[in-house]
Amino acid sequence: MSIAHGFHATITAQPGKGDALVELLLNAPSLPLADCLVFLVSRSASNPDLVFVTEGWSSAAAHGAFFGSAAAQAFIASLAPLVAGESIYVDAVPLGGKAVLD
């Protein structure tokens, strides 16, 4: 299956809350594996409160359906107290690469 829809989000955590934000993101509700093909959480090496999320989906419709679900909305609400200001979203379609993670 190929990736047809994706984005890269830059999220600034409340001061000192970067670890909590990363932990919540890494324990996100189970994504539909058939449709969510990339879910990568990373952070700035120089600012631990600056967090990045990259997602790649089979389609914009699949992404919308998942994020419209009650579980996803509850998850987003749980992130809100940890986030400072507005997050920045850039459309991006992951094309390939390599990741060696734990």
With respect to residue 101, please indicate whether it lies within any of the assigned structural domains: no
Q: Which two tokens stand for residue 66?
A: 């998942």
Q: Provide the strand spans (E) within 17-97.
A: 36-43, 50-57, 88-91
Per-residue model confidence (pLDDT) at position 12: 98
What CATH code is carried by the domain that includes residue 84? Answer: 3.30.70.100
pLDDT per 10-residue tile (average), the chain, 102 residues = 92 98 89 83 97 94 90 91 95 84 68
Per-residue pLDDT at 101: 72
- Write down how long the chain is: 102
pLDDT at 94: 87
Total count of domains within the chain: 1
- Residue 40 resides in a domain: yes
| 41 occurs within a structural domain | yes
Residue-range definition of the domain harbouring residue 51: 5-91
